[in-house]
Amino acid sequence: MKHLLHHHPSPHRKVDMLHGPLSGKILLFAIPLIASGILQQSFNAVDVAVIGRYSSSHAIAAVGSNGPIISILVNLFLGIAVGANVVIATYLGQKHFEAVRRSVSTVMVVAVVSGFILLGLGTTLARPILEAMSAPPEVIGLATRYLRIYFCGMPFMMVYNFGSAIMRSVGDTQKPFYALLVATLCNLVLDLLFVAVFDMGVDGVAWATVISNGLNAAIMVWFLLREEEPVTLDISRWRISAPDLRKMLQIGVPAGMQGMVFSISNIFIQAAINKFGAEAIAGSATALTYETYCYYIVAAFSQATIAFTGQNYGAGLASRCRRVVAVCMAYSIVICGVANILIVWQAHACLSIFTSDPEVIHYAVLRFHTVLLYQALASTYEVSGSYMRGLGYSFTPMILTIFGTCILRLGWVWLFPRIDNSFTMLLNIYPVTWVVTGTVVIGAALYVQHRVFGKKPLQPDES
């Protein structure tokens, strides 16, 4: 029998979340996640850049405007991966290793099943959703083809994302990064081969992404097969554990629903952007690439909050949990804020990577100054919501975030043309809702913390 994880840790790869100072450990955990997020976004960014250099603005719009559609279909299952992260981390904190083994096998079955569900949904619903979003006639055909091919890679994408959730729960964020690095390089090479050499256009970048996702999943499975107990991927014991699945769903479904509703609101915003024409769509999509890059900073510290809180909550270390959320919030706001400012400062240099069309650049710069510059504010509700999930409370942040990122935004989309029918006024929706949502979610997190821990004093072994 293999040695248990806590007997022979691998300190060069795994972060000990339960002992020692937190600041350095959280940063060590988050940096590979930020790098992984940048690489993950680079799949789409490379697609947009290659299409921008070798095709038209219509092709850029077809590839770049599909983010909200992909998100609405994928986010429910990525939320379940968050639930898996919390459940496994909590079991590890409790040193309940048999439950960890059950959860790992459950997670991988769910990953495969969810990937094929998404394959069916994406290929079936691509065009109806694009039509509902008022996609321009010159874009909709290309966008539909891109989406239908893209969703062929969903089983691979789910295996990677659920596998990454397992690795994060044990403090290993480096191996998922290595897998993504290889896959991103593969995507770049195949994009150039399929588009620049074989002139496959939108189809070429889509198939390049599918093949690269397949390589990504294969590397992740290879890593998991060689992991230490109790997180080793043993295919012979793959089965669903109903109690563990229920726990994952209780945390993961609200997180996924939040992401889905968030994406629904973005679809309505995208539909409003579509009315400004193909150049506005392309400009917004190009600027959104950088927003997504920076968002992965926030997401990395949100994931760190979940993993560290889950393990420390499982171990009963209350004041260490409080320090986790404070450190993660500070890191997220400062690092994301610096990245936002640097990109806006070098706006034209950043945008010239993707396009030389002056109209596209004009709309992208407007989005930079209206949205990207204030994006660090999203840390307030993302990190606070992740803290509540790490403590086992997923419904509360879902409801509050749906209010802030869906209901308020839908109201804004309905109202803004009646006040000022401009591109900038539409985009003001983002900073306004970040402030409102952050305020209420932080308040809720403080209430949940008090409810879970009360006024438990700092204990010497928790510092």
* Per-residue confidence (pLDDT) for residue 260, from 0 to 100: 78
Q: What is the pLDDT of residues 281-298, one digit of tens each?
A: 888 888 988 998 899 999
Kindly tell me if the per-residue pLDDT of 37 is higher than 90.
Answer: no
* Per-residue confidence (pLDDT) for residue 376, from 0 to 100: 96
Mean pLDDT value of segment 403-426: 84
Stretch (H or E) spanning 372 = none
Kindly tell me if the per-residue pLDDT of 61 is higher than 80.
Answer: no
Of 73 and 121, the structure prediction assigns the larger pLDDT to 121
Average pLDDT of the residues of the chain: 84
Among candidate residues 190, 179, 193, 122, the one with its CA nearest the CA of residue 152: 122
Q: What is the pLDDT of residues 159-209, one digit of tens each?
A: 998 898 888 888 888 899 999 899 989 988 998 898 878 877 788 888 998
Helical spans, DSSP H, in 371-428: 379-390, 395-402, 408-419, 423-427
Kindly tell me if the per-residue pLDDT of 238 is higher than 90.
Answer: no
Q: What is the pLDDT of residues 322-355, one digit of tens each?
A: 999 999 999 999 999 999 999 999 999 999 887 7
| Residue 461 pLDDT level (bands cut at 50, 70, 90) | very low
Mean pLDDT value of segment 131-136: 70
297-300: list long-range contacts, CB under 8 Å, 24+ apart. Answer: 297/34, 297/37, 297/332, 297/335, 297/336, 297/339, 298/332, 298/336, 298/375, 298/376, 298/378, 298/379, 298/382, 298/383, 299/33, 299/37, 299/382, 300/30, 300/31, 300/33, 300/34, 300/37
* Per-residue confidence (pLDDT) for residue 52, from 0 to 100: 67
Residue type, 452: V
Residue appearing with tokens 């994302």: 161
Nearest 5 degrees, angle CA 208-CA 213-CA 216? Answer: 130
Residues sharing a CB contact under 8 Å with residue 124, sequence separation 6 or more, in sequence order: none
Dist CA 259 CA 398 (whole Å):
9
Kindly tell me if the per-residue pLDDT of 72 is higher than 80.
Answer: no
Kindly tell me if the per-residue pLDDT of 12 is higher than 50.
Answer: no
Residue positions counted in the chain:
463
Stretch (H or E) spanning 100 = helix 97-132
Residue 161: CB atoms within 10 A of its CB come to: 24
Nearest 5 degrees, angle CA 333-CA 290-CA 219? Answer: 95
Of 322 and 268, the structure prediction assigns the larger pLDDT to 322
Kindly tell me if the per-residue pLDDT of 369 is higher than 90.
Answer: yes
* Per-residue confidence (pLDDT) for residue 462, from 0 to 100: 41
Under a CB-based contact definition with an 8 Å cutoff, are residues 45 and 189 in contact? no
* Per-residue confidence (pLDDT) for residue 301, from 0 to 100: 95
pTM for this predicted structure: 0.79
